[in-house]
Amino acid sequence: MIAKAQYEDKQYAGSYNVGPDETDCWTTGNLVTLFCQKWNEATGDNVRWINKYDGGPHEANFLKLDCSKLKRTLGWAPRWNVETTMEKIVEWTCCYLNGGNVAECMEKQIREFISE
């Protein structure tokens, strides 16, 4: 969408951030927990993670992409929330790890994404 708009009209030249809605800004720990939950649902496994923070190098407490320019300029909005996105990540990863047809999996996910 961005490339098409930029090609058709030079007023859209520039860079744009693409990321989640405000409601889908999660901490890393919450994302990892969600991954484990979705992985377990898909595979029947019981994976968990352990926070082994040891006071390492400083990291910002909160990092977030500002997508307001893209929303304002081109009327963009994300189609999938973080939970659906994680389900698709797990689906693709399971396909890959099990030697499945990754191209077919990706095409299916793209069709689902476009149709929603």
64-79 confidence digits (pLDDT tens): 889 999 999 999 999 9
Q: 28-43 vs 82-97: helix axis angle to the nearest 10?
A: 50
Stronger pLDDT, 26 or 96, i.e. the higher one = 96
15-57 confidence digits (pLDDT tens): 999 999 888 988 889 999 999 999 999 999 999 999 988 888 8
Q: What whole-number distance in Å separates Cα of residue 76 and Cα of residue 69?
A: 9
Q: How many CB atoms lie within 10 A of CB 16?
A: 19
Per-residue model confidence (pLDDT) at position 11: 96
Average pLDDT, the chain: 94
Give the ranges where the chain is alpha helix by DSSP (H): 2-8, 28-43, 68-74, 82-97, 102-115
